[in-house]
Structure 1
């Protein structure tokens, strides 16, 4: 879906004080594999009218995995807004985040936030419950080419992402103390996993669903959000704003280093 356009303008019926982002999305027919029409959505807080090309994850029906040559397909001299799909990678027993640039039936091109050698076996998860096994076939300019062990059904994946329930953002396991504030209550909690959009917390007190909260994790700014579920001593929170992927990746690296440093101390004790 490269080449989609993002147009800045006012939402119909607005007073003119708030300016919105009009996003035009191609709509894929699962029956024909073609794009018979579009649908639009509005995002707030832009203050000028202009058209900017949006570079999004490209889905291909080809059986061949993306090649390094695809990286040069980007039109030169034109500024792009990148709206790549976020996925997760299981690599050497740990979960990492990635940005997915191209997907075909035979493989994908990803931006990986860690290092992996050509030939490395890995598992990529596009959404919850959909792992795909493959290996690194090439590396170029920070992008990794992944060749799947078995072909996938691209139409099924794309149709499910457009028409089905919104897939959960990739969650990364963590283990750190944090502070949760809900109204007049300030609680010490433990974060068990985190995504760009929220976190799973171990909490002694049940937080009512729908309550406004502020979660403070070590090394990150306080994150306002909402409590969305409670179950057996755990609470799920959704952030009001997505954490930037780069910031989340760097935070996870620091947490991983600190946890590794604590293990020898725990063994010696």
Structure 2
């Protein structure tokens, strides 16, 4: 039998934050702790901090760097944790205008955090399968090395052992590297499974 903690009654917990929060369901982020990168989902975001969900929960008081699309890396510390949820307080207030900017400002393109890896995989394109090196990975896509001659917008699937193929399309190709955009984005357990 699974233990379910009691649900807090509305109005009992006082709001302690003074800054406005922005709900960010399915936004992805990265924690950098002692040169180790950890994936997280950003659930709430404000100029002063964030509520994140991560599989590896750092202790209260832990200092780390936090990064997400359009923000970071910025210094932060853990102020609370509960199961897989973690509250972060930023060292300095952050400009949230860059978080929602998807490239509307000239020369700026907000990207989801990338995780470096040297894992091998297979890419299936037009009925053929080729071995590739996974250079880096985010919830939204991957950089692959070892394949030539692919055109942008070509449908493709990335294949790993013991993980269902991840569909997407070729976003860019140059010098033997290709960018694969996932459709839909990876969920937290799948991303963590690939990065292990």
TM-score of the aligned structures, taking structure 2 as reference length: 0.76
CA distance in 1, matches of 2:178, 2:193: 24
Q: Does 1:160 align with 2:116?
A: no
CA deviation profile, 1:35-80 (whole Å, cap 9, x unmatched): xxxxxxxxxxxxxxxxxxxxxxxxxx8359x9xxxxxxxxxxxxxx
Q: Which runs of 4+ in 1 moved over 4 A?
A: 161-166
Which of the two has higher C-alpha Rg? Answer: 1
**As a proportion of its length, which structure holds more helix?**
1
Q: Which runs of 5+ in 2 are unaligned?
A: 1-16
| 1:136 paired residue number | 78
For the structure 1 residues 223 and 195, does the alpha-carbon distance in structure 2 shift closer, same or farther, using more than 3 Å as the test? same
| 1:179 paired residue number | 122
**CA RMSD, 1 decimal:** 2.9
| 1:105 paired residue number | 47
Query: Pairwise mapping of residues 1-269 of structure 1 onto structure 2 (< 5 A)?
Result: 62-63=18-19, 83-128=25-70, 130-154=72-96, 156-157=97-98, 160=101, 167-252=110-195, 255=196
2:68, 2:112 within 8 Å by CA — same for their partners in 1? Answer: no
For the structure 1 residues 242 and 84, does the alpha-carbon distance in structure 2 shift closer, same or farther, using more than 3 Å as the test? closer
- Cα displacement (A) at 1:184: 4.5
For the structure 1 residues 210 and 117, does the alpha-carbon distance in structure 2 shift closer, same or farther, using more than 3 Å as the test? same
Q: Which runs of 5+ in 1 are unaligned?
A: 1-60, 67-81, 256-269
For the structure 1 residues 105 and 216, does the alpha-carbon distance in structure 2 shift closer, same or farther, using more than 3 Å as the test? same
TM-score of the aligned structures, taking structure 1 as reference length: 0.57
Larger RCO: Structure 1 or Structure 2 (Cα < 8 Å, ≥ 6 residues apart)? 2
CA distance in 2, matches of 1:162, 1:177: 32
